[in-house]
Amino acid sequence: MQRKGVLCLGNFPLEKKLGGNRRDGLPRVAFPLGILQEDCGEISCDRVTLKPPPGTRGEGGPARTVHAEAAPDGAPRTGRARRCIYLCASMRSPNMALFKQQKVEDVYEIGEELGSGQFAIVKKCREKSTGMEYAAKFIKKRQSRASRRGVRREEIEREVAILQQILHTNIIKLHDIYENKTDVVLILELVSGGELFDFLAQKESLSEEEATRFIKQILDGVNYLHSKKIAHFDLKPENIMLLDKNIPIPHIKLIDFGLAHKIEDGVEFKNIFGTPEFVAPEIVNYEPLGLAADMWSIGVITYILLSGASPFLGETKQETLANITAVNYEFDEEFFSNTSDLAKDFIQKLLVKDIRKRLTIQEALSHPWITLKEEAKVQENKKVDNTQLKTKRLREYTIKCHSSMPPNNTYINFERFARVVEDISLTERGFSTLAASHDSLQEDIDALVSIYNEKEAWYKEENESVRHKLSQLKYEYRKMESLKRHLQDDIESVGASLTGITGKYADLQSQYESLSQELSEELKWIQDLMSSFQLENEACVNGNFDSVFNKDINESLMELLNRSRCEEFLTGLNLDVAKSNQ
């Protein structure tokens, strides 16, 4: 059963401290006056009916039922834990981010570190006034838009706004918020039971009935989120914690809302984020995202929980993402020989690429594998001899994940690492300084070796490149030399041809000049002859020897033509032998 809304007055600063909270440029935050409380089934919660306080905006309205937390023995708590008041629903606006401008050390005693990430550190803390223990998450703020270090303020405000909207038994609770120049500090519910998978891996055996109980709690938490149109977007084993593992059925808590988003109707949201092993295909393909992405992650978690194997995990991140987009998985007989058909059907209907055909949270909660009674499940799953192997494989999976897990903004299994640290400190306490120096020196050596290897590889690559270029240049040079020789041969051949042509031209020129001189002489002789003809014609007008003379002239001209062999030179003379008869 879940409780939907306990909010204590101690979570908020007094009204007089709010007037100066204008450093971030936000409008003045009004003092919270009310929150709507609905039905609660929490065993440790007592219903208390209160009317709006006099002088408030709710005065004169109907009485509402709110809740007071109960002490472990059942008696209502006193002091700040009972000061639950009628509050106005406006303070639950997603955009409200009330950060106390106060040193967190003034209110809480900060203890040991529980975990760390790239830009966040989680430490155990104790409230000085009540002695209550919490987890303080120190989030490093980004100091400028150009900087890449730290988290942007709007992202922190989004996470805080979402945490302020949710109050569910299977979700971590936000208790308080502080801010200084460098960090935003979230005071969160202390979840000390470790990760769910670590807890199950330590068990001797695991039945499907036990697995179903834990999956049901995960579904309940996600159902609450989806009812508020909130998608977690980072559901994975590391973000599924146990409140206390020392009870028969530990209570699950969903943590780390750094990637969570409110899904608004008509607003398209796309992003590429999350852990590759658990992200949905629509994230990999950069498609519009919605609540269905969480259901895919639940399918992957269930697959791993029942088999100890990851359905899509490849040798590389690219291979993992390719398996996800292709929905490339199968129920290996080695891992699922003793798994019921209902469990496989539950997983199959979650690992569907089409979000329209993927199970919704309500459909998942109504699935027979979740709703079926234990007796029916025993009949459905008759093979129960090899459950020990499941926990063994799950143990191997968790060890492998922890050994290769990068830093993240969530809790880690503190107890496991605390034991390791304690053993190391007992056996090597006297050599801590030497070990630190050795580690530092080894890191320097590794760095130098890495740099040397990189430079050597670069030099080899450059050497191969230069060698290849030299080979190409030699080939081109030989090719040009061959072309040069061919060109020289062609030039010499052309030169020889030109020499021959020049000689022939000189010979022809000489012949032409000789012929021209000869023709000139012949033409001169003809002109002289014609002149003599004209003189004789004038002298002999009535002579009888005209015909004889004309015959001699014709014979002389024919002889001349035969001697000259150039009739074209006579055309310009306009000679007509017949006219001479006149």
Annotation marks residue 234 as catalytic: yes
Structure tokens at 433: 């300084």
* pLDDT tens readout for residues 293-348: 999 999 999 999 898 888 999 888 999 999 999 999 999 888 888 899 999 999 99
Q: What is the mean pLDDT of residues 82-88?
A: 31
- Separation CA 299–CA 360 (nearest Å): 12
Q: What is the mean pLDDT of residues 343-360?
A: 96
* pLDDT tens readout for residues 197-255: 888 877 766 788 888 999 999 999 999 999 999 999 999 988 999 988 888 788 999 99
Q: What is the mean pLDDT of residues 26-55?
A: 35
DSSP characters over 364-395: HHTSHHHHS-HHHHHHH----TTHHHHHHHHH
What's the DSSP call for residue 18? T
In this model, does residue 385 exceed pLDDT 60? Answer: no
The pLDDT of residue 301: 94
Helix axes 414-428, 432-539, angle to 10 degrees: 110
For the chain, the domains span 1-91, 93-190, 198-412, 432-538
Q: What CATH number was assigned to the domain covering residues 93-190?
A: 3.30.200.20
Contacts of 366 (CB under 8 A, 6+ apart): none
Say if residue 51 carries a ligand binding annotation: no
Q: What CATH number was assigned to the domain covering residues 198-412?
A: 1.10.510.10
* pLDDT tens readout for residues 412-463: 333 444 444 455 556 666 677 787 888 888 888 988 898 888 888 888 888 8
Higher pLDDT, 310 or 543: 310
The pLDDT of residue 21: 33
Burial class (CB in 10 A: 0-12, 13-18, 19+), 294: buried
CA nearest neighbour of 111 among 178, 171, 177, 187 = 187
Find the length of the chain.
582
The pLDDT of residue 12: 33
- Bridge partners of residue 134, in order along the sequence: 125, 189
Cβ-based neighbour number of residue 251 at 10 Å: 15
* CA distances, 553 to each of 456, 534, 535 (Å): 109, 12, 14
The pLDDT of residue 424: 56
Percent share of the chain, pLDDT over 90: 32
Structure tokens at 335: 């891992």
The pLDDT of residue 354: 96
- Separation CA 484–CA 510 (nearest Å): 38
**pTM exceeds 0.85:** no
- Separation CA 381–CA 209 (nearest Å): 10
Please state whether beta strands 64-69 and 240-242 pair in parallel, antiparallel, or not at all (unpaired).
Answer: unpaired
* Active-site option among 234, 332, 385, 446: 234
* CA distances, 257 to each of 262, 470, 498 (Å): 11, 58, 93
The pLDDT of residue 468: 86
H or E, element range at 115? strand 108-116
The three-class DSSP label of residue 11 is helix
What's the DSSP call for residue 137? E
> Distance from CA of residue 549 to its chain's centroid?
121
Higher pLDDT, 134 or 575: 134
The pLDDT of residue 418: 40
Torsion angle in degrees (nearest 10) through CA of 41, 43, 45, 46: 90
> Distance from CA of residue 71 to its chain's centroid?
48
CA nearest neighbour of 192 among 106, 121, 125 = 125
